[in-house]
Amino acid sequence: MPVTANLVKLVDKEYQDKSLAELVDAPVAALAGVSERAATHLKEALGIKTIGDLGRSQYFRTASALVQLAENGE
């Protein structure tokens, strides 16, 4: 299933016709606003190569959980 209109603004144009499974395996730079340089830094610093790696990262999951707790009054 190609990316729906709701997700179009979240990924670069060349990835807008990809399925969710394909997006998870796509490079981090496929995310709108993430440059190749930023993707390289993520790869070098944290071993994050794909959107899936980013979403599963313990660092990003922890950061997201902390933000959720802070915004919801702990």
pLDDT at 73: 79
Give dist(CA 70, CA 64) in Å, integer. 10
Taking the C-alpha atoms of residue 25 and residue 35, their distance in angstroms, rounded to an integer, is 17
Give the residue-averaged pLDDT of 57-74.
Answer: 93
What are the phi and psi torsion angles at 5 (to 5°)?
Answer: -55, -30
Q: Is residue 2 part of a domain?
A: no
pLDDT surpasses 80 at 1? no
How far is the C-alpha of 51 from the C-alpha of 59, rounded, in Å? 14
In a domain, residue 29? The reply is yes
Please count the structural domains in the chain: 1
Is the residue at 56 inside a domain? Answer: yes
Tell me which residue of 6, 37, 1 sits closest to 19, measured CA to CA: 1
Q: pTM (2 decimals)?
A: 0.86
H/E run at residue 69 = helix 58-71
Structural domain contains residue 64: yes
Which residues span the domain enclosing 53? Answer: 8-71
